[in-house]
Amino acid sequence: MSKNIDIANPTRTQAILNQYGLHAKKKFGQNFLTDVNVLHDIVDIADITSEDYVIEIGPGIGALTEQLARKAKKVLAFEIDEQMVKVLDDTLAQYDNVRVIHQDILKVNLPEMISQEFEPEASVKIVANLPYYITTPILTQLLHADFKWQNIVVMMQKEVADRLNAEIGTKAYGVLTLTIQYFAQAHLARKVSANAFNPAPNVDSAVVKLVPVKPVVEVDNVDKLFTLIKQSFAHRRKSLWNNLVQAYGKDDRTKTNIQSALLKAEIDPGIRAEKLSLAELSHLYIALHANK
């Protein structure tokens, strides 16, 4: 395959799938991008330069990988579908700066991989047309993983993109919104219509750019903070008090501890978690932790 011919365009994508006797697999969220303008936009939004080491999630037949490989120093792409990995051996054969790894991204130890595959102090960017069925677990994994990244540019369902910057007190405001807020600032970079894909998804899509931020309130253990946040949102219609008692225990000593932490954090026990900001939940975590 010549370097000058793009892998992606509506007829070429289908021809490659036919050549290998493949169909897009729903169970792996396979919706292949066939619009080269969208692919170029994604690479531009991520601002990929020859200094960058890129992690791609789900390369598929290599349409986005190829565009990344033309600009980046190295691309490390994780693909779950063995049949796609075989296609990629051919479609990306000319790009010696691409390494495809046949693995479920949710099972990858990214910091370990980065230290094995990238130079120390590498400028790391993450780019993907995400499999929509696991957008939230992937974003959660990426953000909680302990490595430095410059930006994350990902295509996702528009409805999920809206949750990232959801207003406090709305139905869309929740654990995902707070996870994003703790680690990053999210910008909706562009919308993408369903006919940019083969097969066309039944939902609207959007490209989102995340840039890292310092958290509004630093805590000593981010995982524990998010355990508390998940417990607080466990039953959205229940009060914070009821959710906390359910999580921590109904005995008098535990109840007194929760009560004094709420008082210290100046939070009304009757409120619902969806009315609380990240800063308030962080202060609650700090107060609860101090009581232990």
Contacting positions for ligand SAM (CB under 6 A): 28-33, 57-60, 63-64, 78-81, 84, 104-106, 129, 131, 134
Rounded CA-CA distance 179/171 in Å is 16
Rounded CA-CA distance 224/111 in Å is 20
Q: How far is the CB of 59 from ligand SAM (least distance, A)?
A: 5
Rounded CA-CA distance 253/261 in Å is 12
Rounded CA-CA distance 97/152 in Å is 20
Q: Residues near 266 by Cβ (< 8 Å), separated by ≥ 6?
A: 283
Which is nearest to 15 in space by CA: 70, 63, 79?
Answer: 63
3-class DSSP string for 3-15: CCCCCCCHHHHHH
Residue nearest to ligand SAM (CB): 58
Of 80 and 287, the one with the shorter C-beta distance to ligand SAM is 80
Q: How far is the CB of 45 from ligand SAM (least distance, A)?
A: 14
Of 84 and 92, the one with the shorter C-beta distance to ligand SAM is 84
Q: How far is the CB of 205 from ligand SAM (least distance, A)?
A: 9
Q: How far is the CB of 89 from ligand SAM (least distance, A)?
A: 14
To the question of whether residue 58 is assigned a binding role by annotation, the answer is yes
To the question of whether residue 104 is assigned a binding role by annotation, the answer is yes
Of 64 and 229, the one with the shorter C-beta distance to ligand SAM is 64
188-192: list long-range contacts, CB under 8 Å, 24+ apart.
188/161, 189/41, 189/45, 189/153, 190/41, 190/45, 191/158, 192/35, 192/38, 192/155
- The position carrying tokens 């969806």 is 274
Of 42 and 281, the one with the shorter C-beta distance to ligand SAM is 42
Q: How far is the CB of 79 from ligand SAM (least distance, A)?
A: 5
Of 34 and 257, the one with the shorter C-beta distance to ligand SAM is 34
Of 181 and 205, the one with the shorter C-beta distance to ligand SAM is 205
Report the side by side order of strands in the sheet with 205-212. 98-102, 74-79, 52-57, 123-129, 151-157, 205-212, 184-192
In the chain, how long is the greatest CA-to-CA distance?
A: 72
To the question of whether residue 37 is assigned a binding role by annotation, the answer is no
Q: How far is the CB of 245 from ligand SAM (least distance, A)?
A: 36
> Which residues line the annotated binding site?
31, 33, 58, 79, 104, 129
> Which residues line the annotated binding site for S-adenosyl-L-methionine?
31, 33, 58, 79, 104, 129
